[in-house]
Amino acid sequence: MGKAVALKAPRRGGGTRKARKAPKAPSPERKYFWYLGGMVLLALLVRTFLLQGFRMPSHSMEDSLLLGEWVLVEKISFGPAVPFTAMRLPALDQPAPGDLLVFEYPADPRRIYLKRCIALAGQQVEIRDKVVLVDGVRLPEAALAKHADPRVFPASKLPRDNMAPRRVPAGQLFVMGDNRDYSRDSRSWGFLPQELVLGRALCVYWSCAPGGQVDFSALGALPAALFTQVRSLPDRIRWGRLGTFVR
């Protein structure tokens, strides 16, 4: 008798099994691209919904905020707008008197302003000889607010120093600059719709005094002008104001 031969069962799928190839590692260039894209996306999300920088373009908030200072603004509290839609995220808080608010200027939403919230919807605002009264009570001035012009105008000429009582409508705010005599605010252009508020100012993260204008039309003098700007930068930085919280 012959020897018994063990029969091998055929492999499923037929044929011989091919060796699997190890996955190809991504190239350094592709890794760099994904890291960079992720950082850009994260920065856009933070800027849109959480924090954004704002530069003071005028003297209207002196001496609380100075010309040329960059302020960090938190946006999440008041429900930031969702880009390319009419939707807003749910608000976590509401503006309060004393808040430094960054908002779109009602007459031109492309322009961004920063003013102090003085009164809320339902409250009454009145000004008597530069004294602000809210619901008949004198409003305590901000610590660094100031009056730089000794003149006092009657209400018939200018609402800056004297203003008849005004009741803030629903959904609106009354805002003013801390440099009371040199600020265009709710006294001149009216109430601020609350939906135009972008956020609340938190702190100064950069402060540098202006270094004069550079004439870009004079190409021959441009290198010297730029050198002067750079050389004077350490003296123009307001070192003591960096990182200060606004109030």
Nearest to 186 by CA among 106, 76, 75: 106
Query: What CATH number was assigned to the domain covering residues 49-120+173-241?
Result: 2.10.109.10
Q: Establish whether 115 is a catalytic residue.
A: yes
- Please identify which residue in the block is written with the tokens 């302003």: 113
The DSSP call for residue 222 is H
Burial class (CB in 10 A: 0-12, 13-18, 19+), 74: middle
- Residue 201 token pair: 């100012």
H-helix or E-strand containing 112?
strand 108-119
Catalytic residue among 8, 18, 24, 60: 60
Q: Which of 64, 75, 115, 183 is catalytic?
A: 115
Indicate if 75 belongs to the active site.
no
pTM tops 0.75: yes
Compute the residue count for the chain.
Answer: 247
- Residue-wise pLDDT for 69-117, tens only, equals 999 999 999 999 888 888 889 999 999 999 999 999 999 999 999 999 9
pLDDT less than 70: residues of the chain? 1-23, 25, 212-222, 225
